[in-house]
Amino acid sequence: MNIFVCIKQVPDTETKVTPNSSGTYIETNSIKWIMNPYDEFAVEQSLLIKAAKPEANVTVIRVGGSKDTEALRTAMAMGADEAILIEASDNLDSYMTAKALKGAIEKTGKKPDLILTGKQAIDDDCLQVPQLLAQMLGLPSVSVVVGFELAGNDLTLRREIEGGTIEIYKLQSPCLVACNKGLNTPRYASLPGIMKAKKKPLTTYKLSDVGVADADMRIKYSAFSLPPEKPAGKKMDAMDAAKQNEVVKKVVGLLRTEAKVI
């Protein structure tokens, strides 16, 4: 069974984002990069399958900058068998990213039985790559998956939609599954795992190696800017029980007369 896990490296959620001086992207010099949190669920799911099916082979693929390869190494330290890095800028658009992933999967010569991804990357928040990649490979896909069962080639997937409602899908592999938080608990990369990962193969490609050209660009960003700062609000002290009623009355009143939201 060939499992491909597509991951992204993103700035840590604690990162304070600052636009770069030309406004074309954010300042990336002092950023701490982490594996996209949703992708950790995808990696874990592949390893749970591998634990049940030892013959399964897990290849983890990432498109992005080559300066740090931590996300790929972490995935291998967690237990993935090999890794592929497609060198590109960290803010390549979704269409080019999906096309690059497709090219890399095809280059391995292995027919994918299952492709796992996170439901979205927390940097550009586009939520496009999983569906685009599935479409390009002619595979069905299910996104925002919080439940996963595999029996033979039969998959039962639970997709979360509005209001916590669950859609249950039944389908057969090959397919693409985009994972959400709640699907599993990602394991830590163990220290022996980190040592072993050193010896696992990491193949590097350029975008042109996997059939992606400048003409494939579909999205252009400009004028990165910080959201406007709100003017300071009103802060009222209600630690004292005597003041509570008065403060609550005042706030409710302001919500109606000043903010006009009630």
Partner 1 sequence: MLNFELTQEQKEIKEMALKFAKQEMQPKATEHDQSAKFPIDIFKKAWELGLLNTCIPSEFGGNGFSVVDGTLITECLAYGCMGMNTSIMSNDLALLPIVIGGSKEQKEKFLRPFTESYKIASFCLTEPSNGSDAAGIKTLIKETPDGYIINGEKMWITNAGFADLFVVYCTIDPKLKHKGICAVVIEKGTPGIEIGKAEKKMGHRCSDTRGLRFNNVKIAKNHLLGNLGDGWKIAMKTLDHSRPLIASSAIGGAQCAYEHSIKYAKERIQFDVPIARHQAIQFMIANMAMKIEAARLLTQRAAWMLDHGIKNTEFASMAKAFAADSCMEITTDAVQIFGGYGYSVEYPVEKLMRDAKLIQIYEGTSQIQRMVVAREVLS
Partner 2 sequence: MAKILVFTELNGEHAKGVALEILGKLNGHNVDCVCIGKTPKTAIEEMAKNGASNVFSLQSTGLQNYSAEGYAAALKEIIQKNNYDYVFAGSTSVGKDLFPRLAGTLNCGMASEVTNFLFEGDKFLGTRPLFAGKCYAKVEILGPKPHFVTVRPNALGMNAAAKAGTGAATDVSVNVGDIKAIVKEVVKGASEKLDLTEANIIVSGGRAMKNAENFKILNELADVIGATVGASRAAVDSGFAPHSMQVGQTGKTVSPALYIACGISGAIQHLAGMRTSKVIVAINTDPDAPIFTKADYGIVGDLFQIVPLLTAEFKNLLLK
Please state, in angstroms and as integers, the Cα–Cα distance from residue 250 to each residue in 117, 121, 136, 230, 246, following that order: 48, 41, 57, 21, 6
Report whether 87 contacts 68 (CB < 8 A).
Answer: no
Considering CB distances under 5 to 8 angstroms, the limit depending on partner class, which of partner 1, partner 2, none binds residue 53? none
**For the packed helices 37-52 and 70-78, what is the interaxial angle rounded to 10 degrees?**
30
235: tokens are 């802060």
- Residue 66 in contact with partner 1, rule: CB under 8 A: no
Q: Which is nearer to partner 2, 182 or 201 (CB)?
A: 182
Side-chain-side CA neighbours of residue 62 (13 Å): 33
- Residue 204 in contact with partner 1, rule: CB under 8 A: no
End-to-end Cα distance, the chain: 56
Least distance in angstroms from the C-beta of 242 to partner 2: 12
- Residue 231 in contact with partner 1, rule: CB under 8 A: no
- Residue 254 in contact with partner 2, rule: CB under 8 A: yes
Q: Which is nearer to partner 1, 77 or 121 (CB)?
A: 77
Side-chain-side CA neighbours of residue 12 (13 Å): 8
35: tokens are 């594996």
State the residue for tokens 């990369």. 189
Considering CB distances under 5 to 8 angstroms, the limit depending on partner class, which of partner 2, partner 1, none binds residue 65? none
Least distance in angstroms from the C-beta of 69 to partner 1: 8
- Residue 259 in contact with partner 2, rule: CB under 8 A: yes
Q: Which is nearer to partner 2, 204 or 245 (CB)?
A: 245
d(CA 117, CA 150): 16
- Residue 83 in contact with partner 2, rule: CB under 8 A: no
- Chain-centre distance of CA 159, in angstroms? 16
Amino acid identity of 172? Answer: Q
Please report, as residue ranges, which positions from 182 to 201 form the binding site for partner 2 (by CB under 8 A): 182
- Residue 189 in contact with partner 1, rule: CB under 8 A: yes
Among 161, 190, 195, 198, which residue sits at the site for partner 2 (rule: CB under 8 A)? 161
Considering CB distances under 5 to 8 angstroms, the limit depending on partner class, which of partner 2, partner 1, none binds residue 134? partner 2
Binding footprint of partner 2, residue count (CB under 8 A)? 92
